[in-house]
Amino acid sequence: MRERAGLLAQELKKTVVLVGMMGAGKTAVGTAVARKLGVPFIDQDDEIQAAANSTISEIFQTYGEAFFREKETQVLARLLAGPPCILSTGGGAFMSERNRDLIAASGVSVWLNAELNLLWARVRYRDTRPLLRTENPYETLKTLFEARTPVYAKAAIHVSSFSNYSVDDMANAVIRALTEHPDILKVTNHACR
């Protein structure tokens, strides 16, 4: 893809799989990264909803979490078999060893790492996350955060989010991290042509 200045061509060689907690920005930042790189963006939660013709909440309510997790793995395998893209996972997808193996086999995992209070500030006013529909959603988020952090840390690339970062800042930080891996994102300078 060429930037407006016509200086950079970029080739995405592997699917970049964004992982992390609910509210880490996988969907928001992934969308921005894909737009900046001019590559396709796919949100795994959206794909599951489209395949089931129901919302995530409805799937949890009607069929339960175990069914959702099965669909999550099926959809992940299908998306990873497609052309390279920016793929935002659901918050729990990276918890499964099978999913981590699928990602490592044909993509690269990037952890969007954010502090608990930042995550809480982002998720507290939305009711689209069935796992947080509990008596004390902050405590639930904290429990998930503590249990999941060591697993997210297995991701190949880590990018930290801070409260003063915008979605755009985070997208740029992800792209900077990717450009350090030419086997993932190859950037060619065409300035001299």
Ligand X SMILES: Nc1ncnc2c1ncn2[C@@H]1O[C@H](COP(=O)(O)OP(=O)(O)OP(=O)(O)O)[C@@H](O)[C@H]1O
Binding-site sequence positions for Mg(2+): 27
Can you tell me the distance from the alpha carbon of 187 to that of 95, in angstroms, rounded to the nearest whole number? 32
The sign of the CA dihedral 180, 185, 191, 192 is positive
Angstrom CA distances, 132 to 2, 31, 138, 192, stand at 42, 24, 8, 53
Under the criterion CB under 6 A, does residue 92 sit at the interface with ligand SKM? Answer: yes
Residue 84 binding result from ligand X, Mg ion, ligand SKM, none, given CB thresholds of 5 to 8 Å by partner type: none
CB of 97 to Mg ion, least distance (A): 21
Out of 20, 84, 91, 107, name the contact with ligand SKM by CB under 6 A: 91
Token code pair at residue 2 = 């060429």
Can you tell me the distance from the alpha carbon of 86 to that of 92, in angstroms, rounded to the nearest whole number? 17
Question: Residues annotated in the binding site for ATP, as ranges?
Answer: 23-28, 129
Task: For the segment 23-42, give every residue that binds Mg ion (CB under 5 A).
Answer: 26-27
Which parts of this chain interact with Mg ion (CB under 5 A)?
26-27
Which parts of this chain interact with ligand X (CB under 6 A)?
20, 22-29, 45, 88, 90-91, 122, 129, 161, 165-167, 170
